[in-house]
A and B are shown apart, each in its own frame.
Chain A
């Protein structure tokens, strides 16, 4: 049993997302940093998409009711287990009764914003429509269809089982950095209405710095920069959209759809942040600045391969550690 001891604002149970229910109006949800989730699960020998706790607000505290291996990935939050400092991106062993505390993300300009607490076997909540992710809008999935609260008790499916601990990995932000002119960047494929924007606005989008405003959450990131102007007003028919789509409402300030985004929309679409870079965006702090890099289809698909290759490398490294003698409980 894992008991939530802090107010836990906005912490949710997430897996890799709910696919296949878009036609009922159900968006995908899923971890904002899917790479942190997958890597944390690999470290524990879990299935890649096992459910974990996504933590966006700190401090955050839980008590383990039984022995349980866990991995901390995503933002480095100066975690402590019964006061002992813990390494980030590392597998640890908790003993029954121990308290895990996460503080504010550290690392200066390189800091992340969401920590993933992965546990042995994954967080054991019922699968709803094929996923354990929290569907906040629909109030189902995850833990009772809502974000966690003080006093909630979760179960790790593999608690008590032997699990090799005491090793970790280099975070993907260091292994696969992406910057443009000194700022974090993500790659974008132009979308249907791209050509309908003023040429000056198109140039400004790629050249400019974009601030992630405080009105940014799991639904979407509202950005602030030079307003994007259409050549003529565009009023579209509602159509399917996906996380990463950059919509431009009449104000001209773009909104990037994130994991809890609606599965459909009607604002003009400037472009889409490629799936392979969504984990970078998932760790971008509110108030920080970023840039966009224009990309093409082949490069965008190759970027997915790069992510997969990194995960394969992690899997091989974990295998070596788990096969090594001296496995600790």
Chain B
């Protein structure tokens, strides 16, 4: 048996803990994250368990009083992770028509410059997978997707944009996603689509849930 690298736990002030298991990003790990979120979310000192991309944030209802109590909570979390079993979810598939490039995709050229690939190849690689929704975050209704082709990974922008529009399809590092409303972002916008992702009057308010799938259909490419 090989020695397993331990998960890391770090502080987000006195408000939350961040739990990050080791290993390559994949759906199996994410399914275990969903299981861990389900369990830890019910602990009395936890306000909310918030899955990220192969990681989990736990916000405190009330932070542990002493460092020892905090360390005990961290140990309990590591044990729960070891015991967590992947829980697959059969979600629905949603197709989103995308216009790549042009005014709606101003950073497509930056992705070209970074990857050395042509527009056609980037669009082909981006629209090929069925992307599972790993988690929601960033802004109301926004979905973090797994499964992007590593060949089109592009670092986040040196200086974040003060605003990108709703429906913006973008790449940040090895991830891709669609903005649900206009706002600031450090990601590279490569195209645009339209879809209502969030309605606070609905229960749940978000249209898509972890486990649902997104497919990007190429509606057009603007050079």
A positions within 8 Å CB-CB of B = 19-27, 128-129, 135, 137-141, 189-192, 215, 219, 233, 235-245, 249-251, 255, 262-267, 269, 272-276, 296-298, 300-301, 304
Contacts and interface: CB of A to CB of B under 8 A. Distances in A.
Top 6 closest A-B pairs, CB basis? A240-B57, A264-B137, A272-B13, A192-B10, A239-B52, A138-B140
B65 interface: yes
Nearest to B141: A25
Given A137-B139, A138-B140, A22 B13 contact: no
A137 B183 contact: yes
B141 A24 contact: yes
Interface-centre pick from B37, B64, B67, B139 (highest chain A CB count, 10 A): B139
B16 A240 contact: yes
A238 B136 contact: no
Interface string B130-165: 000001111111101000000000011111101000
Interface residues of B, number: 60
Contacts of A239: 18, 20, 52-53, 55, 57
A137 B162 CA distance: 12
21 contacts: A21-B205, A23-B48, A26-B140, A135-B200, A138-B181, A192-B8, A235-B155, A235-B173, A236-B173, A237-B25, A237-B54, A242-B12, A244-B12, A249-B159, A249-B160, A250-B156, A250-B159, A251-B159, A264-B138, A272-B11, A304-B14
A238 B144 contact: yes
B140 A191 contact: no
Contacts of A267: 156, 186
A48 to B, nearest CB: 15
B184 interface: yes
Given A25-B138, A238-B175, A240-B137, A191 B12 contact: yes
A26 B186 CA distance: 18
Nearest to A220: B184
Contact of B198 (A138, A250, A265): A138
Nearest to A263: B137
B11 A25 contact: no
Given A138-B181, A239-B52, A240-B50, A192 B14 contact: no
Contact of A237 (B16, B162, B175): B175
A249 B186 contact: yes
B97 interface: no
B20 A135 contact: no
Interface residues of chain A: helix, strand, loop or mixed (majority):
loop
Q: Residue among A20, A243, A264, A269 with the most chain B CB within 10 A?
A: A264
B119 interface: no
Interface in B154-198: 155-160, 162, 172-175, 180-181, 183-184, 186, 198
Contacts of A265: 138
Contacts of B25: 237
Interface in B1-22: 8, 10-16, 18, 20
B64 to A, nearest CB: 8
B156 A191 contact: no
B112 interface: no
B129 interface: no
A141 B144 CA distance: 24
B12 A245 contact: yes
Contacts of B181: 137-139
B47 interface: yes
A24 B12 contact: no
A96 B190 CA distance: 55
B204 interface: yes
Contacts of B162: 215
Contacts of B156: 235, 249-250, 266-267
A191 B10 CA distance: 6
Contact of A238 (B49, B137, B141): B137
